[in-house]
Amino acid sequence: MWRSLWRSIDRFSLQYFKYVINELRQIKVVDWHNRELVIDLLQSIVELVTYGDRQDPLIFEYFMEYQVLAEFVRVLKISKNSRIEAPLLQYLSIMIQNMNSDHSIYYCFSNDYINNIIGHKFEFGGDIALYYVSFLRAVSNKLNKDTVCLLLKVYGDSVVSFPLDDMVYQYITTPPVSKYFSDLVSSLSKQFFHLDALVHATEMRTNQKRKELLLETDKIVDDLYYFNDMLGVGQSRLSTVVIENLLRILIFPILLPLLQLGQSNGSNLSAVTSFYTVSRLLQVIGGKGILETERAENSSLPRDTVSNKRSGILAHVFSDNPSLSLASLFLLFILEEAKDLHPLLAQMIGLNGMQNMIAVDGNIGNLLVKYMDQILNALLKVLASQPPFSILIQWHTGWFLRKLLILQGKGLGDHNFELLNTSYQQSCECLQKELDGCWFDHIPEVLRNEWPNCKAALEESSQCKDPFFVLELDDSQQATDGDATSYFAWKRMVETVKVFILHLQLKSCIFKGELLQELLLNMSSPIADSSKTHASDIASASFGSEVSLGLGIPCTIAFSNAGIRDIYLIPKARETTGKVLLAEKHPFRSQRGVVLAIGPLAGLNPKVDEDHPTWLHLQIREFEPKLHKTKVRGHQSSGMSNHVADGRWTLGFSNAKACEAARLSILEEIRKQRSSVESILAPLLQDSYLGNLSETESQDE
């Protein structure tokens, strides 16, 4: 009825706005009797403020000057079961959504009015929750880097709180909602057990198993970073509930069985997976980040878990199983590098009886120094073992050795020098064997390409090194799926080169105290890139091109779709590259031929057929490294399940003597090519390169 008295007044005028405000201020209590009147007043205010924001600055200035938003807060406080909250939130949402000017938004978010409405204790029955969420959405849509500060409560230079923070944290850390965190940690724990099952699965092929392990560990790491994000919020109640669940459900159940040294009841993670789990936790979250809470400080472990120096984690470090030894040593390296050994964690991993060797800041370097000689000896025995351990185990063992040599800061003892010298000689012998393999022509190029990669991997810190390698050490001992193709020969050659580089770098650490920056090769016989062309038409020949038949050996070959054809066999080496060509005589030029097929000279392995002495079999490498690059992780090729099978040529000659002559011609060209490669590698394979280990041993004496 009150509106009818003002029909002659423009309802979008400042005068009308003042009247509406005065009417609202007359309301002392909101109940069912005046509820509709109050709703009408609120609606009118919102309409006028929205209009004023766009059309009439005087209306909005009055809105600010007389603190009209304070009336909305007052209405909420004087409401008595009137259910005024829902329409009030609705109209506020409309007003905020329709504000265009930054000036209007700044005012609305200032003076704590919005904070007071957000923090009001609503009774969330009926539709009130929907209107409340809509209101929060309207506010959040107007927040940006300039306006968000208006909702912060600041004391001095520190942010004290943000709207809803306290209520949200109280809500999510109180049962039953807090069960979310225990469920989350339980899910993570199940992932680790699934990972453990994959680690010990025996029915999967190596490549498929590695792919499954990578997928599972990626999911685990994502979840760990989610926990780290929650702890990084810095809210004590949230941190406490997260850490309590991590300790209770994951960390204690994993570490305690480790200290019991094999007394597993069958329901625990294996030791290697346990070390992976703890290492990843420490890398992502950190030891002090997990353990510096009141509940963690008050937690206790059985006091008799450690009885002597070879109990706890040290018992695993000195294990005869290199996988277990490297996994446990890696955990110590993470703790040493991060200087993050909390006293409780020291107790948990079996070091609580060695506090005099642990610095105040958590540095366990003194502990490693105390057992340095024994640890170095154990690692060097792995490198010098016969038969040798897998390439993967050797490589990671070398990474540990380099770290320990830096930490020790002095030379090796006599017995350890002897082991290192033995291991170094074995790496040289393995490389020399590859000179008789089918990829000898690529060894210089692989040396050059892998040198910076291996150096970077050796320099990798413990915090950055992916502990995934500990999960695949046992599998690395298995044969490579029983395949003897050139693809697996390539993998073996590359891995052999990496181990040789490793030993050169370890040797450099002994002599120079640092890694070699560059690879020094005999450049008098330069490394030739197989993609470069040469002056010789044979060296630069391609399919369909013309070549001279002057060096060609006449023979025949049978094609499945073209019958038997007369051709010429042309093997030719030029420095470190070599090709074998099959050419057919040119129809118009008698001394020229047209190339029908090309293969690499290395790996031909020419053999005369036992039953047909005029037949010569040649083995052709079909795998092309440049076209089939595989992603390398942890210096171990991920493997290719679809590698092509090698080719085979069978050539026919007029008689057995001609066949044998062709075989010898091929071998002579291979010898020339191998000789060029050997001249490049010769300095690296000499004992004098960087000095002789046995000489240094005698100097140390």
Q: What is the mean pLDDT of residues 497-502?
A: 94
> Who has greater pLDDT, 301 or 571?
571
Bridge partners, residue 555, by sequence: 567
- What pLDDT is stored for residue 305 in this prediction? 43
Q: What is the pLDDT of residues 423-433, one digit of tens each?
A: 999 999 999 99
What is the per-residue DSSP string for 535-578?
SSTTTT--TT-EEE-TT-EEEEEEETTTEEEEEEEEEEEETTEE
Q: What is the DSSP letter of 528?
A: P
Q: Please, which pLDDT band fits residue 234 given cuts at 50, 70 and 90?
A: confident
Q: What is the Cα–Cα distance from 323 to 319, expressed in whole angstroms? A: 9
pLDDT of the residue at 265 = 45
pLDDT above 80 (res 22)? yes
> Distance between CA atoms of 330 and 466, rounded to whole angstroms?
10
Q: Are 604 and 666 in contact (CB under 8 A)?
A: yes
Q: Say yes or no to pLDDT of 108 above 60.
A: yes
| 700 or 316, which is more confident | 316
pLDDT given for residue 124 in this prediction? 78
Q: Is the pLDDT of residue 344 over 80?
A: no
φ/ψ of 349, rounded to 5, equals -100, 10
Cα gap 158→150, rounded to integer Å: 14
Average pLDDT score over residue span 392-418: 88
Helix (H) or strand (E) holding 230: helix 206-232
SS (H, E, C) 182-206: HHHHHHHHHHHHHHHHHHCCCCCCH
Mean pLDDT of 65-74: 92
Which are the contacts of 407, defined by CB distance < 8 A and separation ≥ 6? 336, 365, 368, 369, 372
- DSSP E strands in 375-497: the ranges are none
Contact by Cβ (8 Å): 108, 69: yes
Is residue 596 helix, strand or coil? strand
Which tokens sit at 136?
Answer: 């929060």
Q: Which of 388, 678, 692 is nearest to 522 (CA)?
A: 678
Rounded Cα distance between 588 and 611, Å, is: 37
Q: Which two tokens stand for residue 165?
A: 């923070």
Higher local confidence (pLDDT), 475 or 486: 486
Tokens representing residue 163 in the block:
């709207």
CA–CA distance from 570 to each of 538, 595, 601 (Å)?
8, 10, 10
* pLDDT at position 527: 46
Rounded-to-integer distance, Cα 192 and Cα 194, Å? 5
Backbone CA torsion sign across 185, 190, 194, 196: positive
Distance CA(690)–CA(522), nearest Å, equals 15
The amino acid occupying position 36 is E
Please give the share of the chain, as a percent, with pLDDT higher than 70.
80
Could you report the per-residue pLDDT of 571-622, keeping only the tens digit for each? 999 889 999 999 999 888 878 899 999 999 999 999 999 999 999 999 999 8
Q: Quick one: pLDDT at residue 468?
A: 94
pLDDT of amino acid 408:
83
Most confident of 133-142, 367-376, 643-652: 133-142
- Provide the sign of the torsion angle of the four alpha carbons 78, 80, 81, 83, taken in this order: negative
Average pLDDT over residues 157-183: 80
Q: What is the pLDDT of residue 534?
A: 36
* CA neighbours closer than 13 Å in the CB half-sphere of residue 82: 21
Distance separating alpha carbons of residues 129 and 117, to the nearest angstrom: 14
- Dump the DSSP string for 93-122: HHHHHT---HHHHHHHHSTTHHHHHHTS--
Q: How far apart are CA 338 and CA 510, in angstroms?
A: 25
Please provide the average confidence, as pLDDT, over all residues in the chain.
82
Q: According to the model, what pLDDT value does residue 366 have?
A: 75
pLDDT of amino acid 304: 44
Which comes out higher in pLDDT, residue 651 or 315? Answer: 651
Sign of CA dihedral 272, 278, 282, 283: positive
Instruction: Parse the chain into domains and list their residue ranges.
Output: 14-164, 170-294, 332-351+363-475+486-520, 540-624+645-685
Kindly state the tokens that stand for 104.
């209007």
113 neighbors 72 (Cβ within 8 angstroms) = yes
Q: How confident is the model at residue 138 (pLDDT cuts 50, 70, 90)?
A: very high
Q: How confident is the model at residue 296 (pLDDT cuts 50, 70, 90)?
A: low
Provide the pairing of β-strand 563-574 with 553-559: antiparallel
> Over the Cα atoms of the chain, what is R_g?
39
Say what the pLDDT of residue 569 is.
95
94, two tokens: 């409309």
Residue 563 in this model has a pLDDT that exceeds 70: yes
Share of the chain above pLDDT 90, in %: 42
**pLDDT band at 295; cut points 50, 70, 90:** low
Q: Which residues contact 563 (CB under 8 A, 6 or more apart)?
A: none
Q: Which CATH architecture has domain 540-624+645-685?
A: Roll (2.30)
| Tens-place pLDDT, residues 516-549 | 888 877 655 444 444 343 335 666 788 888 888 8
Q: At what angle do helices 35-54 and 57-65 cross, to 10 degrees?
A: 130
Q: What is the mean pLDDT of residues 294-300?
A: 51
